[in-house]
Amino acid sequence: MVFKVYSDKLIEYFKANGINIGDKVRVSYGSISIEGELMPSTEYNDPEVLVIKLKNGYNIGIGFSKVKIEKLEGAGTPIEFPKASLTERKDLPNISMIYTGGTIGSRIDYKTGGVYMLTKPEELLYDVPEASAIANISINPLLSIASEDMSYIEWQRIAEETSNALNKGARGVVITHGTDTMHYTAAALSFMLQDVNAPVVLTGSQRSSDRGSSDAFMNLICSVYAASRSDIAEVGICMHSTSSDDECAYIRGTKARKMHTSRRDAFKSINSKPIAYIGKDSSIRYNSQHRAMPAERQDTHALTKYEPKVAIVKAYPNSEPDIIDFYIGKKYRGLIIEGTGLGHAPVSTSHPDLLWLPKIKEAVDSGMVVGMTSQCLYGRVNSS
């Protein structure tokens, strides 16, 4: 859940009456009064609705337009997290950390029950102080969104910021990201970033940092170590390789896929081995061939031109190819068909309305590029 402030109208009211998040307040509606602590709002709430935590621990929502709010004596202080001190060390490499959102960059506050997105370096490193002993970290709070809300526009911004950081001398880049679509971003960056001259590491967490089983700490430590110590000049994902806290796998960006909804080792390398394993003991075990950092670094270029009108269509038993008409009508430039097995679609069925080949020909004749891939995660469409 992403932290979000209340509406501008409510914020002005709070300021005028000296009310802060976490304060004890009395909310009155006619003869009814309710006391509790004012909680932060979230992106899922109506910004005009007050969220109050009652003494029994339950939260309630009250519309602002019909109530009177009174700050009580002995009110709480504004919420602040402890901060870790950041001291730059000349003996450590400098890396950039681009923050885009996700569970890894949030913390629950047990006083209010609210979840806060962290953007200040000292707040992030308070949870993982070991990271500041590995490298000097410069944090770029670029985005604060859920990964399912990513689009090619955000990919372009991340690519540009990554190339800028590398070209300014960063030893590597860590990108914190929500896990649901992290593999999409990793693949997009793999194509957008040309002449990558240092590690570009995406990481996140399956479980929030307030849980004892959180994977956030080790994922971040391993990613910082990979960015600052490995010689991998490629885009990759660094996450738990097993469900235990022993090591993380560095998976090539074009080979990574999220394979489980909640396991800590959700990301797997498809059709290839992970590039390396990063141990919690600050070790790097290279596992396959990779592009190494060049002796003399040249600029990394972000080629961010992108064609958004490309779609994916799945072929399956009884699937009607008429869906292709929609993309032809919308003037799509490309269509990828997820075929069965080696890349098959119904082309000889006895049911004329289920024949795919005529519709594929119509798409090609309209100027659309049509490609075929397989729904199978492993193997190739080339049978030879």
Catalytic residue of the set 23, 109, 127, 180: 180
Rounded to an integer, what distance in angstroms lies between the CA atom of residue 195 and that of residue 297? 9
Question: Is residue 100 annotated as part of the catalytic site, yes or no?
Answer: no
Catalytic residue of the set 100, 103, 112, 300: 103
Rounded to an integer, what distance in angstroms lies between the CA atom of residue 10 and that of residue 17? 11
**Secondary structure of residue 46 in the 3-state scheme:** coil
Angle at which helices 182-192 and 152-167 pack, to 10 degrees? 60
Rounded to an integer, what distance in angstroms lies between the CA atom of residue 218 and that of residue 225? 10
Question: Is residue 258 annotated as part of the catalytic site, yes or no?
Answer: yes
Cα pseudo-dihedral 6, 8, 12, 18, rounded to 10: 20
Question: Is residue 180 annotated as part of the catalytic site, yes or no?
Answer: yes
Rounded to an integer, what distance in angstroms lies between the CA atom of residue 26 and that of residue 138? 42
Catalytic residue of the set 179, 185, 254, 300: 179
Rounded to an integer, what distance in angstroms lies between the CA atom of residue 5 and that of residue 47? 8
What is the H or E stretch that residue 183 is in?
helix 182-192
Rounded to an integer, what distance in angstroms lies between the CA atom of residue 114 and that of residue 14? 18
Q: Are 220 and 99 in contact (CB under 8 A)?
A: no
What are the C-alpha distances in Å from 107 to residues 29, 139, 222, 381? 33, 17, 20, 44
CA proximity to 37, closest of 54, 49, 50, 20? 54
Q: Are 154 and 100 in contact (CB under 8 A)?
A: yes
Rounded to an integer, what distance in angstroms lies between the CA atom of residue 306 and that of residue 156? 9
The single residue listed with the structure tokens 């009064």 is 33
Catalytic residue of the set 24, 53, 258, 359: 258
Question: Is residue 77 annotated as part of the catalytic site, yes or no?
Answer: no
Q: Are 228 and 172 in contact (CB under 8 A)?
A: yes
Cβ-Cβ contacts under 8 Å for 159 (sequence gap 6 or more) = 188, 189, 192, 193, 302, 304
- Active-site residue list: 103, 179-180, 258
